[in-house]
């Protein structure tokens, strides 16, 4: 049986460190940082640790409906989503995640783009 990326890279404690580093980047970023104003960061980081863990084959799971509901009040563009993916990629590389494994994680993110990206009507 193939080892999950979750187990390969150290489980929840390692994923938690990755998520903490990712949010340092996100909060400092002018493109996506404003999405996190007035957000309960400890709660968000807990959810994100579980989400990333699930993408890596860990025990947590998030339904598409859950992801869509959590982001429904946000206007997320393709540019925002692309920036998020770039920051995720940089962060994973900093933690010595293998390039092929980073690609698998980014592919999992990309599959969820339609759940997050919304186009607002411009009148």
Model confidence pLDDT, tens digit, residues 7-65: 999 999 999 999 999 999 999 999 999 988 888 989 888 888 988 898 888 887 777 78
Domain ranges of the chain: 10-116
Looking at 9-23, 77-91, 105-119, which range is the least confident one? 105-119
84, exposed or middle or buried, with CB in 10 Å at 0-12, 13-18, 19+? buried
Distance between CA atoms of residues 103 and 73, nearest Å: 29
Per the model's pLDDT, the better-predicted residue between 59 and 81 turns out to be 81
Could you tell me which residues come within 8 angstroms of residue 44 by beta carbon, excluding any fewer than 6 positions away?
23, 36
Mean of all residue pLDDT scores within the chain: 89
Q: What is the CATH architecture assignment of 10-116?
A: Orthogonal Bundle (1.10)
The model's pTM is 0.86
For the chain, what percent of residues have pLDDT higher than 90?
Answer: 56
Q: Residue 122 pLDDT > 60, yes or no?
A: no
pLDDT value, residue 68: 82
């Amino acid at each position: 049986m193939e080892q999950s990326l979750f187990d390969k890279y150290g489980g929840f404690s390692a994923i938690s460190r990755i998520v903490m580093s990712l949010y340092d980047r996100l909060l400092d970023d002018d493109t996506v940082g404003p999405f996190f104003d007035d957000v309960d960061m400890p709660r968000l980081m807990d959810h994100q640790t579980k989400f990333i863990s699930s993408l890596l084959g860990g025990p947590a799971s998030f339904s598409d409906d859950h992801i869509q509901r959590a982001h429904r009040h946000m206007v997320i563009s393709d540019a925002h989503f692309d920036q998020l993916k770039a920051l995720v990629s940089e962060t994973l590389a900093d933690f010595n995640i293998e390039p092929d494994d980073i690609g698998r994680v980014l592919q999992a993110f990309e599959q969820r783009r339609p759940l997050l990206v919304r186009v607002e009507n411009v009148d």
